[in-house]
């Protein structure tokens, strides 16, 4: 898979800009890539449930009791760091009452297992569709300072949003189909 420098060079190439050999090069391109890369990578990871960033964990309960509303506090994963909780205890969203506060999950549940979006720090762990989306978003941020071309920056940002929808649709086709369970409403029909 691609490295940070390779992803940056793909973004720079889209702009017709000079490529870099390292994020620590003493060039405008390298300095900008170094400034934007990690923040934009997190943003792309949070944009959707890319299969390469979904992880599972059983959470450890802390010794702290929340002051009000909830009975228990759990530590969210730090390696890899939890960027967003998708669901807890394999339930559908909304079935279990909980809140995220900082790096803690508060709930009344006596044990908690979560599916979450993890912060991947090594681009070698990104899948190709996530890498492509990051490349385009990075190019959109680099467009103005490198080329001064505001319409190009807007065009790349639009391409990014369309690409994310397309790539997440493809990425989401992996795995078995979810079963629809009959409910009173479907049985009436």
pLDDT: which is higher, 48 or 100? 100
Nearest to 121 by CA among 55, 9, 33, 37: 37
Q: pLDDT class for 177, splitting at 50, 70, 90? A: low
> Average pLDDT of the chain?
91
Residue whose structure tokens are 């793909």 = 10
Comparing 19-23, 44-48, 56-60, 171-175, the range with the smallest average pLDDT is: 171-175
pLDDT for 172 beyond 60: yes
Share of the chain above pLDDT 90, in %: 83
Outline where 79-127 has alpha helix (H).
none
The two beta strands, 60-61 and 98-101, are unpaired
Nearest to 2 by CA among 121, 123, 127: 123
- Tens of pLDDT, residues 113-125: 999 999 999 999 9
User: Which pLDDT score is estimated for 130?
Assistant: 95
CA–CA separation, 106 vs 152, rounded Å? 44
Distances 108 to 69, 101, 175, 177 between C-alpha atoms, Å: 9, 15, 31, 31
Residue 129's SS3 state is helix
- Tens of pLDDT, residues 136-150: 999 999 999 999 999
Question: What is the 3-state composition of the chain as percent helix, strand, coil, each rounded to the nearest 5?
Answer: 45, 20, 40
Share of the chain above pLDDT 70, in %: 91
Say what the pTM is. Answer: 0.86
CA–CA separation, 96 vs 108, rounded Å? 9
Cα torsion angle, 94, 97, 99, 105, sign: negative
Residue 71's SS3 state is coil
């Amino acid at each position: 898979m691609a490295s940070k420098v390779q992803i940056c060079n793909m973004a720079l190439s889209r702009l017709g800009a000079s490529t870099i050999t390292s994020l620590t090069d003493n060039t405008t391109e390298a300095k900008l890539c170094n400034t934007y890369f990690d923040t934009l990578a997190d943003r792309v990871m949070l944009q959707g449930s890319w299969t390469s960033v979904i992880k599972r964990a059983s959470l450890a309960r802390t010794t702290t009791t929340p002051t009000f509303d909830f009975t228990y506090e759990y530590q969210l994963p730090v390696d890899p760091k939890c960027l967003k909780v998708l669901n807890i205890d394999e339930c559908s969203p909304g079935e279990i009452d909980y809140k995220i506060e900082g790096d803690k999950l508060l709930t009344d549940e006596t044990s908690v297992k979560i599916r979450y979006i993890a912060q991947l720090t090594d681009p070698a762990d990104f899948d190709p569709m996530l890498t492509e989306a990051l490349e385009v978003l990075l190019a959109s941020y680099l467009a103005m300072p490198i080329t001064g071309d505001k319409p190009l920056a807007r065009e790349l940002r639009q391409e990014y949003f369309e690409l994310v929808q397309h790539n997440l649709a493809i990425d989401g086709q992996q795995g078995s189909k979810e079963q629809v369970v009959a409910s009173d409403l479907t049985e009436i029909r």
